[in-house]
Amino acid sequence: MSIFSKHLPAIHVEHYKYTAESPTEKMPVPDKVYISMVQHIGAPCQPKVEVGDLVKVGQVIGDTDAFVSAPIHSSVSGKVTAIDKSLTMSGVWDLIVTITTDKKQEVLEGLAPPQIDDKDSFIKAVRASGLVGLGGAAFPTHIKFNPKNLDEVDSFIINGAECEPYLTADYRTMMENSELLINGLKNTLKYLKIKRGIIGIESNKAPAINKLRAMVKDNPEIEVMELRSVYPQGGERVLIYETTGREIPIGKLPADIGAIVSNISSVVALQNFIETGMPLVSKKVTVSGNAIRIPKNVEAPIGTPISQLITFCGGYKRTPKKIIMGGPMMGAAVYDDGMTVNKNTSGILTFDEELATLPKETPCISCGRCIKACPMLLMPTLLAKAYDAKDVEQLQKLNVNLCMECGCCSYVCPAKKQLAFTNKLGKRLVMEGGKK
């Protein structure tokens, strides 16, 4: 268990880890991939190819000079057949590069492991790999790994909690790519000169804990830490507290308290690039939910339509009412299965009408369960009142921006109020800075 006797508030959720023991299956190359130029927080990439160009696997097809960015590579070999505008899930315009595949998967000539001698060449390699936070945040990794106060960072924490129900892709990565994971951790510690590495894993993944502990038994600088199996154990602020006992002050970043956090899949993808020169071009995704016929863990080329993954998993066994990209607690609903797998896609969940229909809200009974469940120690009902009144000052006073939208408050609410969503709207109201 964690070394700390005190824990942040958390909740118990049903795990539904139906695919935990399903080895990852690599799906066939689709006829077409649709690769978004918006795959990270920050400035969108601009296409570096034109319609009619022939491309190969690993070739840069999108990039920008903006600092907060990461290059985007072709996941297939084939021909660029379109570059179109499209709306993303968040409602912003995106450029989509459509590549009609030749099914040969020819690799770009000259791809080779990067030359890494020191921190600067390591950070350069991280950017070249196209890596972003693969757990969902999609923040460019080369920026996260290079804070201004790097010399004050003493802990590199790898997030192996995977606390969201249904999702098992990270667990399969720990079991199937453990050598890449440990070597990636060692290289990160070495080149960033960080003294301590921690892999935080929930107690419900005992095989992964045992396997990784055996691999690092002669490396005292690395600890595989067993965490409580509760939600949201994988939240960045929660994970840092549970593994180091440190709290992130409001407005501060993990590096400000001496920590850098990365996802399991991110470290594996980085080490794969270091060893082979192949950038991030595919993603391991859990396909599950009660509307899918055969739940699986699938490795798919980035840009693969969701519908192709569904077909690879036997299709729908009942009509889907809702499709979620990510986990059921923090994921985002997509409006159709024509959307595509992006770098930060961790799961595709499909639910029928019975599971997808939200229960009817009833009046608040002032039970306080939402307050007890909030890992950030917020007061969701007061935040909801402040939002209803469009009271920006009160929202700020109640620290609405600390809300990480984990959904714990909504989950435990007996009145079925969508408190987490209201907090999201409250944060937006504060950002816009005034009453509406």
Residues making up the annotated binding site for [4Fe-4S] cluster are: 364, 367, 370, 374, 403, 406, 409, 413
Q: Which residues line the annotated binding site?
A: 364, 367, 370, 374, 403, 406, 409, 413
H helix or E strand, kind and range, residue 388: helix 380-388
Enumerate residues 6+ apart whose C-beta is below 8 A from 368. Answer: none
* Contact (CB, 8 A) for 154 and 62: no
For residue 40, CA distances in Å to 200, 233, 340, 396 come to 24, 23, 15, 27
Strand 347-351 with 282-288, pairing: parallel
The span from the CA of 161 to the CA of 199, in Å, is 9
CA count, 13 A, side-chain hemisphere, 350: 24
- Separation between Cα atoms, residue 22 and residue 101, nearest integer Å: 28
Report the C-alpha gap between 25 and 81 in whole angstroms. 28
Q: By C-alpha distance, which of 310, 301, 344 is closest to 325?
A: 344
How many residues does this entry show for the chain?
Answer: 436
d(CA 356, CA 323): 9
Distance CA 180, CA 202 (A): 20
Query: Look-up: residue for tokens 């929202």?
Result: 395
Specify whether the CB–CB gap between 296 and 169 falls below 8 A.
no
User: What is the maximum span of the chain, computed from C-alpha positions, in angstroms?
Assistant: 65
**Angstrom distance (rounded) from CA 228 to CA 163:** 10
Tokens 């794969």, residue located: 272
